Amino acid sequence: MGMAGSLQAVLASAASFFVIISIVSIIILLCRSTKIPTHPIRRTRKRPRTLAVQEPELSISIGESQSFDPSVRLISMEELKIVTKNFSADLIIGDGSFGLVYKATLSCGLTVAIKKLDRDAFQGFREFRAEMETLGKLRHPNIVKILGYCISGQDRVLIYEFLERGSLYQWIHESADVAGSEQLEKPVPLTWETRMSVVRDIANGLAYLHGLDTPIIHRDIKASNVLLDKGFEAHIADFGLARWIDGSHSHVSTQVAGTMGYMPPEYKDGATMATVKADVYSFGILMIEIATGKSPHWPMVLKDKEVGLAHWARKMVEEGEEMKMVDPNVQREELDEIKVKEYFRIACRCTSDISRDRPTIREVVDLLNQNWYVKLDISANVEEV
């Protein structure tokens, strides 16, 4: 009986010990969870939520709008929805990279082009950043002017000047609908002089970009990214892939950017560094496209063999067939054979397979000016819109 009492006493003591240990452990854990931080918490005013776009160093406030033109006041998303009829398909005038473009008239009476970026396109945020950093600061007669932008929730909208004649691609390859929703018929095929004037405008705009203190590589020069105003003056547009570059005139990139048919051959060999010479190559392809009316998206047939547009052009030039290359819609009496030959010679230099053999765009401007020194008359393609 005494032994049983001793055993009970031992068990009771052990139980009490474990209970005390458990209580102490809980107290320690509670103290640790409420430990006062070494650095005091800073009490700050609640700030608007921001969205980081592509690169972490840039953030854009939700509900933000900005105007880059003093003549245009800040525009809300509510107004943009009203003037576009909630972004109605009836007002679409183009399909830019990562978004649709609408024609609309603001309450102040100004007609503008409005690009609404795709919500589900991650690259759309990158394009938004690129266009903000470039177009908002650029002022040149051959660069499309951005008037402002607006952000609301996940919606991002860019507001541009409206250019009446639409894209160069439409005038080269399509027969109607060159003025947006007004559905105007193309009056006549572009004259040779108008085409040459457009080429020089594009070259001047590109020379401006490459000649900045911190040059800009456009990286997507093509017919659909050139817009024409009422007088057929050309404006380079769509800077979604554009990049500022350093003193080496190159931009390090982890992936190839551009449009098939316009991209230089070094990209096919695995090079991803963007350079000014890549823009020159794309411009050379565009020169050939403008003069011939042939799309770089489709292969050319040369002696029963399919080749690219640049290869076809070089072979035709080698054989002295430049006059046969000109778009059949161009009146032959407009053409000066010597100037036509020189034009295609310049284009072939721009599209050299070897990057270092291509001229700079400033050299191209000089060559074009030498070839067309006399002021061009493009009135044949100008009519009231």
| Annotation marks residue 220 as catalytic | yes
108 three-class SS: coil
Spatial distance between the Cα atoms of 165 and 110, rounded to a whole number of angstroms: 17
> What is the end-to-end Cα distance of the chain in Å, rounded?
117
Q: Burial, 64: exposed, middle or buried (Cβ in 10 Å; 0-12, 13-18, 19+)?
A: middle
Report whether 217 contacts 275 (CB < 8 A): yes
49 three-class SS: coil
Spatial distance between the Cα atoms of 291 and 294, rounded to a whole number of angstroms: 8
Q: Which residues of 233-243 are buried (b: 16+ CB within 10 A; e: fewer)?
A: bbbbbbbbbbb
Which of the residues 220, 269, 327, 377 is marked catalytic?
220
Spatial distance between the Cα atoms of 118 and 240, rounded to a whole number of angstroms: 13
Report whether 98 contacts 118 (CB < 8 A): yes
Residue 225 marked as a ligand binder:
yes
Residue 116 marked as a ligand binder:
yes
Helices of type H across 211-275: 265-268
Angle between helices 361-371 and 276-292 (to 10 degrees): 30
Kindly state the tokens that stand for 299.
């292969």
Give ∠ CA 116-118-120 in degrees, rounded to 5: 155
Residue 204 marked as a ligand binder:
no
Annotation: binding site for Mg(2+): 225, 238
Active site residues: 220
Annotation: binding site for ATP: 116
Annotation: binding site: 116, 225, 238
